[in-house]
Amino acid sequence: MRILITGASGLLGGRLANHLHQQKKYILTMLSRNAEEHDCLKNYGSVININWEDQNQLNNILKNIDVVVHASGPSAQQCSNDPINQISLYKKYTQNLLKAIKSNQISKVILLSSIHVYSENPEGYIDEESSLTNNHPYALSKIAVEDLFNKYPRSDTKLYILRLSNCYGYPITKSENCWDLFVNNICKMSIKNDSLIINNNPYDKRDFLPISYFCEIISQIIKNNKIKNGLYNLTSGETMELIEFSNYIKNIVNKIYNKTLQISYNKNYNKTDLFTLSNNKILSQLPEISINHEEEVKELSSSIYPSGFSE
C-alpha cells in the first residue's frame, strides 16, 4: 500500500512517517516545503519538495497513491500573525490537493483538524455534533478546510476528519514549534533546568493526547476497511488541569533521573470551567487501542539530551 503524508516535516507528520515505516508494509511518500532540512525523513521513504501552486506536480505525485494523510497546515501562531493570508493559502493548497485526489483513485483521505474549532473557552460535554464557535484564526482555518472536505463530491474515496486534542510527544524531525507545546516544554524544563515553571493559569484544563495513540489510530484507519468514514474527535476523553499533569510529569522524571523537582506557579488564578471532549465515537470503532501517557512522557524526556532536538 502506498501512503502520502503532507506536512511530513512537522511533529505529527514526522512521527506518523516513523510509525508507519516501522510496520514494514507501506511505501511512503512525504511532502514538505523544506525537505532538504529534514534528512531523517529519507529513512522512511521518498521525500518531495512540494510546490502547492503546481497542480501538475500534485497530480503526478498522487498517481498510484492509495491513502493520503493531510497533516500540513499553518500553526496557531502563524494564523495569529497573518490570519487572512494563512487561512487563504491553507484553503487554496487543500483545494489543489483535493483536485489531485479527485483525478486519481485514492481509497482513503485523512484530514487532521483540531478540537479548537469548538470553543476558545470550552465547557460542558462536547461531541462531534457540538457547535463551532471559536473565532480564533487557527480555528477558522481548520473550519474552512473541513468545509472543503465536507463539500467533496461523493465518490469511492472515504474521507475522515480527525479533530485532535492537545497532542504531545517526542519529535522525529527538528520541528520548529515542537518545544512550544505545554507538555513538551515542561519536560524540557524538567530535564535541562531541574525545575518546572507554569507561566499561564495552572488551573486551565486540557485534554492531553500522546502522539503514539494518534499514530496507532491513523494506522488502524489505514488498514481497517470496516471503520466508517466521517468526522471523529480524537481525544483522551479526560481533561486535566495543567498543574495536575505537571505533577504527573514531575513524578515520572523524578523516578527516571532521581531528581527532586519543584513546580512553580501563580496560585492567584481562578479555576476554569469543566469540560469533556467526547471520544465515544472513535472508541465505538476502535475500542481496543489504549492510551499510554507514561510511556510517551518517558520517551519524550529521554529524547531531550541525546536526540539533538533540545535546543
Domain CATH for 246: 3.90.25.10
pLDDT for 192: 83
pLDDT for 36: 65
155 and 59 in a single domain? The answer is yes
Average pLDDT of the segment spanning 133-139: 97
Q: Residue 102 is part of which domain span?
A: 2-168+208-234
Residues 6+ apart with CB under 8 A from 269: 201, 202, 203
Residue 287 resides in a domain: no
Residue 311 scores a pLDDT above 70: no
Residue 283 resides in a domain: no
CA distances 57 to 105, 110, 237, 274, Å, are 16, 20, 40, 47
Residue 225 resides in a domain: yes
In the numeric block, the cell 518517558 is attached to: 298
% of the chain residues with pLDDT over 90? 81
Residue 193 scores a pLDDT above 90: no
C-alpha triplet 90, 142, 300: angle, nearest 5°:
95
Residue 282 resides in a domain: no
221 and 192 in a single domain? The answer is no
The β-bridge partners of 5 are: 30, 69
Of residues 15 and 174, more confidence is placed in 15
65 and 195 in a single domain? The answer is no
pLDDT for 140: 98
Q: What is the dihedral of CA 307, 26, 34, 179, to 10 degrees?
A: -40
Average pLDDT of the segment spanning 288-303: 91
Residue 117 resides in a domain: yes
**203 residue type, one letter:** Y
pLDDT for 105: 86
pLDDT for 253: 86
pLDDT for 256: 84
Residue 289 scores a pLDDT above 60: yes
- On whether the CB atoms of residues 101 and 68 are closer than 8 A, the answer is yes
Residue 309 resides in a domain: no
Segment 241-288, tens digit of pLDDT: 999 999 999 998 888 888 888 899 999 999 999 999 999 999 999 988
Segment 29-62, tens digit of pLDDT: 999 877 667 778 999 999 999 999 999 999 999 9
User: Looking at beta carbons, which pairs linking 262-269 to residues 24 or more positions away fall under 8 Å?
Assistant: 262/195, 262/196, 263/196, 263/197, 263/198, 264/195, 264/196, 264/197, 264/198, 265/197, 265/198, 265/202, 266/198, 266/202, 267/202, 269/201, 269/202, 269/203
Angstrom distance (rounded) from CA 274 to CA 308: 38
Number of domains in the chain: 2
Give backbone dihedrals phi and psi of 14, rounded to 5 degrees, phi first: -65, -45
pLDDT for 216: 97
96 and 191 in a single domain? The answer is no
Domain CATH for 111: 3.40.50.720
Q: What is the dihedral of CA 227, 233, 236, 242, to 10 degrees?
A: 160
54 and 76 in a single domain? The answer is yes
pLDDT band at 310 (very low <50, low <70, confident <90, very high): very low
In the numeric block, the cell 471532549 is attached to: 277
Angstrom distance (rounded) from CA 115 to CA 166: 8
Residue 197 scores a pLDDT above 80: yes
Per the prediction, the chain carries an average pLDDT of 92
pLDDT band at 20 (very low <50, low <70, confident <90, very high): very high
126 and 200 in a single domain? The answer is no
Residues 6+ apart with CB under 8 A from 253: 187, 190, 191, 259, 261, 297, 301
pLDDT for 303: 85
- What H or E segment, with its residue span, contains residue 17? helix 11-22
126 and 91 in a single domain? The answer is yes
119 and 259 in a single domain? The answer is no
Residue 305 scores a pLDDT above 70: no
Specify the pTM.
Answer: 0.94
125 and 162 in a single domain? The answer is yes
Segment 154-183, tens digit of pLDDT: 788 999 999 999 999 999 987 667 889 999
251 and 139 in a single domain? The answer is no
153 and 55 in a single domain? The answer is yes
73 and 104 in a single domain? The answer is yes
Angstrom distance (rounded) from CA 297 to CA 287: 23
pLDDT for 175: 66
Residue 272 has a CB neighbour count (10 Å cut-off) of 17
pLDDT band at 309 (very low <50, low <70, confident <90, very high): very low
pLDDT for 39: 79
Residue 310 resides in a domain: no
pLDDT for 231: 98
Give backbone dihedrals phi and psi of 264, rounded to 5 degrees, phi first: -110, 135
Residue 227 resides in a domain: yes
Average pLDDT of the segment spanning 286-306: 87
